[in-house]
């Protein structure tokens, strides 16, 4: 996935912590997933998807699949921006793309793609993405491809 900053409308700024690094001296691969998760949750909140505890209907997003492509190393100290967007919006699921940019740099150090399912936690089954959420996602992303 080749992307640049202008492909995204939603950004979450985070500091790289000393504890994020591993024995080799760069940010551990597992931490990239935490960064992407933080960006994804902020994106959900901006779109009105919220988290389960904030939704009275017992529905919410659930992660079904995720992958990450590591493009460059990341080191402390740094400040990053996690860019997040919806690449595809289906009936019960959508594809989220993320990119991690070091502040001031044009190329991402990592990209990620995730499948999110709208889930009815009471029924333990997928559910249709609500129309109001679908509208807010489209508005947040300035249109979904």
Q: Is 54 a residue whose pLDDT tops 60?
A: no
Range 112-141 average pLDDT: 94
Cα–Cα distance, 110 to 108 (Å, whole number): 5
Domain 5-140 top-level CATH class: alpha beta
Query: Could you state, in order of their start, the residue ranges of all structural domains in the chain?
Result: 5-140
Q: Is 76 a residue whose pLDDT tops 80?
A: yes
Residue 145 pLDDT level (bands cut at 50, 70, 90)? low
């Amino acid at each position: 996935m080749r992307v640049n900053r202008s492909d995204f409308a939603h950004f979450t700024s985070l500091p790289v912590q000393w504890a994020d690094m591993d024995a080799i001296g760069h940010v551990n691969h597992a931490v990239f997933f935490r960064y992407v998760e933080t960006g994804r949750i902020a994106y959900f909140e901006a779109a009105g998807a919220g988290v389960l505890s904030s939704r009275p209907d017992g529905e919410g997003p659930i992660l079904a699949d995720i992958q990450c492509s590591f493009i460059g190393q990341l080191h402390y100290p740094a400040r990053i921006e996690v860019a997040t967007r919806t690449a595809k919006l289906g009936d019960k699921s959508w594809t989220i793309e993320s990119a991690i940019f070091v502040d001031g740099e044009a190329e991402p150090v990592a990209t990620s793609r995730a499948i999110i399912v709208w889930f009815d936690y009471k029924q333990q089954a997928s559910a249709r993405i609500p129309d109001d959420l679908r509208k807010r996602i489209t508005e947040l992303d300035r249109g979904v491809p």
